Chain A
Amino acid sequence: MSEKKKYKVDVLVVGTGPASAAASKRLVDAGLKTIAIDFRKLPRHKVCSGILSPRGHRFLIENFGPLPLKALHNPTSCKGVTFHFPSASSMPIDFLGGSTPHLHRKFSDHWAIEQSHVEVHDETAFLSLTTDGKKAVVSARCRGEAIEYEARFVIGADGPNSPVRASVYPEYSSEIPWFVVAQKFQPIIECPLDLDYFHFWINPKLGHYTWSHEREGRLIVGVGFKKGGNVDEHHKRFEDYMRDKHGVRLGPPERKEGGSHNFGPSIINRYVFGKENILITGQAAGFFNMLAEGMSCALHSGAIAGEAVIESLATRHPVQEVYREHIASEVNRSTDQYNPIKTVFDNVHEADFKSALKKLSRGDQLRAVRDLMKFISVYGDLNWGRQILGQSIRRLILGTYSTKRWL
C-alpha cells in the first residue's frame, strides 16, 4: 500500500463558496500557507437566486475586482425586491445605491476563489478532524484516495450542512429546524410581473418562503417550507396563485432543484463559531440576511474569520476570542434585520423599505403591516417570538446581542 498523501499548511479552509473565498483572500494576502478544499469538481453548480445585496456587491469589487460577464446570469442585474401582500397591494423596494448583479454562482464563486489565489484542491471531501488546540489533523478523500492535512487552523466555510461543524458539534444538526427550498425553471408565456425585480410573497398560505424571478428567459418558481412537506404540492399551489392573482402563465417546468437549509440562527442569535483552532463561518455558522440573502454575510464573516487567524498569530491572543470579538459587528448586521425594534427605528435593510411603504396609500400601508404580522405567524410553532423579543430588548439597552447564545 502506498503512503497516504499529506499536506502541512497554516490554514485549511473547507469549502470554496463566498465565505471561503473571502477568508482565503485574507490568509493568502497575509502570506499564510493556505489550501481550500471542496468535495465537488470546480466550477461547481450552486442552487441560489444569485441576488446580491449592495454590500455584497461592493465586497466583491473591493476584494476580487470587477466582475467578469461570465459570472453573471441574464438578466445581469436586479433592481430590488417586490413584496406581494395577500390583501391587495404589491410593493417594489429598490436596493439602496442602485441595481446589483445577478450572479451565476457556478462561475462567480469560482472566479472569486481564483482571485483569492489560494491553492484549491477540488473533488476533495472533508471527512473528519481531530485537534489538540494547536494542531488539527483533517482526513479527506480525493477521488477515492485518502489525504491528510495538518493545519494550525481549520476554517469551516462549508455551507448549510457543514461537516466541519458536525465534527465539532455532532448533535447540532439534529437540534435545529431545517427548511426545504426548491425551485423550478419554467418557460414564460406571459408575465406581467416587473422582471427587473426579485419577487417575494408575504403569504402564509403559500409557505415559509415563496419567491420568483427571471433567469435566462425562464421564470424561477421557488417555494420553501419546513422539512417534511411536499415540494410538488407547494409548487402547484404557488403556480396556480401566480396565474390567478397576477396573470402569470408558464410552460411546464424544465428543471427542478433544491436543498435543505438552516434559516434560523441569525434570527434568534444562535450562531456557531467553533472551538479552539477550528473556526466556523458563512452559512455554516448560521449567517443569513433577510430574504435568504446569504452571500454578503458569508463574504464578510469569512473575511473576519481569516483576519481573526492573522490577528491571533500576530498578537498571540486565542483565535476564538479574537474571532468572537470581531464577528460581533457582523452578528449585529444580520440579526438586526430580524429585530423588530431596529427595523422600525433604524435603517437595517439594504433596500429602502420605509420609503417604499410610504408610497402606498394609507389603507394599503395598514393592510401591508397587518399581512406582515400575519406572515410571521407561520414561524409561530418554532418558539422564536420570545427569543427575538428578548434579544431585541437586550440590543436596545446594552447595544449588543448576547454572545453566550453562540456555540
Chain B
Amino acid sequence: MKPTPKKAGTMHLDNVAPDSLQGIPRQRVNPPMWRRTSDEDAKDTWPAFVSDLKDLGININEGRAKRAIFVTDAGGLSYGMPDGVFSPSSATDIAEILKAAQRHVVPVTVRGGGLGTEGEAVAFGGLLLNMSSMQRVVDIDAKNLTARVEGGIFWHELAEVLRRKGLDYISAPLNFTSTVGGVLGVGGVDTNSPKYGLSADQAIALKVVTPTGEIVECSPTENSELFNRVILGYGQFGVIAEATLKIRKFTPMRMNYFYYSDLRTAIEDLRVIVEGEASDYSGILTIMDRAITLLVGFDSKEREDEFTKKTEPKLRGHGEIGFGLRMAIYYAFRPWKIGESLYLLKRRLLLFPDLMRREFTGKDGEIVDRTVIFSRAVWKHWGSKKMTIPDLAAPEDKFIEAVERGNAVCKKYFKYYTLYCVGIKKKQDAGDNHYEMSCVPKDAVNFAYGCEFEPSYGGGKYSRDKLQSFKNEIYDIGVDMDLSCYRFGGMMKGYIRRLFGDEVVERHLKMKQEADPAMILNKNTVF
C-alpha cells in the first residue's frame, strides 16, 4: 500500500464546488410552466385573452377533449395541457392571437405535427396553436422549381401533390406527419442531406408572423434579418405561416446496400462516400453494433455506374450473402449469444421485406417513395408511444468517436437498439451565424454528421426515469466533446448552455427578448 499522508481536516480535490456547476440547471423535467393562478396576486389573464379574441371572431376551443389531443408528443415523456386550442386558417388569425397574447401575457405554443420528442410542441398551459389547419399548397412554379405552401402542411402531403406533376421536394424528414413549419426552424435531415443539406436550407422565402403579431414577408434579400432568425430559429422568432421551397424533378431512388460488422469501418466508408460526393443518398442503419448496413442511393443509372466503377472498389463492406455467412460463423463459435443471433435473424426476416415491398418500388426495385418505406419501417419496428431518439451531431473528425461513445451508452441501457447515421452538407454561402445554435456543430468544415441512438424496446416497458437518464448520458458526450444535438429544446433544455456556451445563448436570448417582449412564443422550450 502507498499511503498518502494527509493532514486531518484539509480540503481535498473538490469537483463539486457550487460555482463549478453553474449554468447546469437541469432540474426541469416536466413542470407546469404556466399556471393561470399560480400565486395569489398574479391575475388570471386568460379569460380576458379569450374574450378579446372572441370579439374578433376567433373562438378558442377550451373543451377538454380537444385540448387533450395535444397532451404529449412523439416522445411520450413530456405531458402538459393547454388551457385552450386554436386552429388558424390564415396569417391574420395568427397575428391577432399573438397581439392579444403579448397584451395579456399568455404563452402560445405552436404545434406542427407534434413529432418532436422532448415536448417542444407540448403546451404547459396557455394557448396551443394547431398549425395542421394550414395545409394548402399555394402555388407550384414548375419552371423555376419552387413551391409555395402553408406552414402546417405535412412534407409528405406536399410530396403527393408534387409527384402528380413529376416533381418532388428536395429533402425532408423521413416521416409522414412532420410539417414544413415545424422543420424549417429545427433542421430536417434526409438521406440526401449529404447532397442538399438540411431541409431548412431549401427555404427561399417565408411569410412570418412575428411574436408581436406583424405579418412579414422575408427572404435572404427582403427583411433578411428576420428570415435568418426564423430559419433554424428553433421556433422562437415567429410563426411560419407560409414558405417558398426549392423543389426538383422527381426521380426514384436506386438503392445499394453494403454490410459491415464493424462500426468504425462502416463510418469511415460513409465518410468516403459523403465527402467524395459519390452518391445522391447515403446513411447507416444498424442493428446494435453487430449488423451494420450502409445504404447508398442514386437518382440515375449513370450516377450509380460511376459509383460502381470509382467508389465501390474502395469500400470494405460485404454483400448480403457474404455477410450472412460471416455472421453465421461468428455466432457458431459463440453459442451463448444465441439470443442475439436469433434477434438479428428475426430483424432481417421482418424488416428487410418491409424495406423492399413491391407496392412501393419500381420494376427495377428502385424506391419510389422513401418516406413511405422508412416511416412505416420506423414506426413498425422501432416505434412505441415513447419514441426515444437522442442524437449527436459532430464535425467530420469527431464523428467516429461520438458514435462509438454513444454506442457504449446504448449498450449499457438497452439490449437492442439501432444507430442511424447520416451526413449533412453545409450551405456554402451561408453567413457566419447561420448555423449558430443549431444542430450543425460549429467546427464542421464542409459536412456535419448526425447519429441517432434508438433503443428498440422489444415489448419491454421502461420508466421515464430510465429513458431520461439514457438521453442525458448521450447528451453528456455532446457536452464533453463539444458537439451539437438535433433536439435541444424542451426536456433537454438544460443542455443548451452547456452545448453552445453562455455567450452565444445570452446573445440569442437578447434577440428573443427584443422580438418577443412578453416572452410568450414557445415559452420555456429554449429560454
Contact = CB atoms under 8 A, between A and B. Distances in A.
Interface of A: 25-26, 28-31, 55, 57-59, 61-69, 72, 74-77, 79, 89-90, 98-101, 115, 187-188, 191-196, 214, 216-219, 246, 300, 303-304, 307-308, 310-311, 314, 325-327, 329-330, 399
B5 interface: yes
B61 interface: no
A29 B30 contact: yes
Interface stretch (B19-27, B154-162, B220-228, B439-447): B19-27
A187 B466 CA distance: 42
B27 A77 contact: no
B365 interface: no
Given A65-B24, A195-B12, 20 more contacts: A25-B29, A26-B29, A26-B30, A29-B32, A30-B79, A59-B469, A62-B29, A67-B16, A67-B21, A74-B11, A75-B12, A193-B3, A194-B4, A195-B8, A218-B8, A300-B469, A304-B463, A307-B465, A326-B465, A329-B466
Contacts of A31: 32
Given A66-B22, A69-B18, A77-B15, A194 B27 contact: no
Contacts of B18: 66-69
Nearest to A75: B12
Interface of B: 1, 3-6, 8-18, 21-22, 24-27, 29-32, 71, 79, 339, 415, 461-466, 468-469, 472, 494
A401 to B, nearest CB: 14
A187 B7 CA distance: 12
6 contacts: A63-B29, A66-B22, A74-B9, A77-B12, A192-B5, A195-B8
The residue among A28, A55, A100, A194 with the most chain B CB atoms within 10 A of its own CB is A194
A319 B10 CA distance: 49
A69 B17 contact: yes
A63 B25 CA distance: 8
A77 B16 contact: yes
A63 B27 contact: yes
B465 A90 contact: no
Contact of B465 (A67, A217, A304): A304
Nearest to B3: A192
Contact of B30 (A30, A195, A218, A330): A30
A329 B463 CA distance: 8
Nearest to A31: B32
B250 to A, nearest CB: 43
A330 B466 CA distance: 8
B463 A326 contact: yes
Nearest to B8: A188
A191 B6 contact: yes
A235 to B, nearest CB: 20
A167 B6 CA distance: 49
A31 B81 CA distance: 11
The residue among B11, B16, B79, B339 with the most chain A CB atoms within 10 A of its own CB is B16
Contacts of A311: 464
Contacts of A25: 27, 29
Nearest to B20: A66
The residue among B12, B26, B415, B468 with the most chain A CB atoms within 10 A of its own CB is B12
A48 to B, nearest CB: 17
Contacts of B339: 399
B83 to A, nearest CB: 13
Nearest to B413: A329
A192 B9 CA distance: 14
A218 B8 CA distance: 7
A72 B8 contact: no
A399 B17 contact: no
B494 A399 contact: no
Contacts of A327: 463
A76 B17 contact: yes
Nearest to A317: B461
Contacts of B24: 61, 65-66
B14 A29 contact: no
A195 B522 CA distance: 50
Contacts of B13: 77, 79, 99, 196
A131 B10 CA distance: 53
A30 B80 CA distance: 8
Contacts of B6: 191, 194-196
Nearest to B29: A29
- 9 A-B pairs with least C-beta separation: A217-B9, A66-B21, A326-B463, A192-B3, A188-B8, A90-B1, A325-B461, A62-B26, A75-B12
Nearest to A397: B339
Contacts of A68: 18
A330 B494 CA distance: 24
A99 B26 contact: no
Contacts of A64: 27
A192 B378 CA distance: 59
A59 B472 CA distance: 10
B415 A300 contact: no
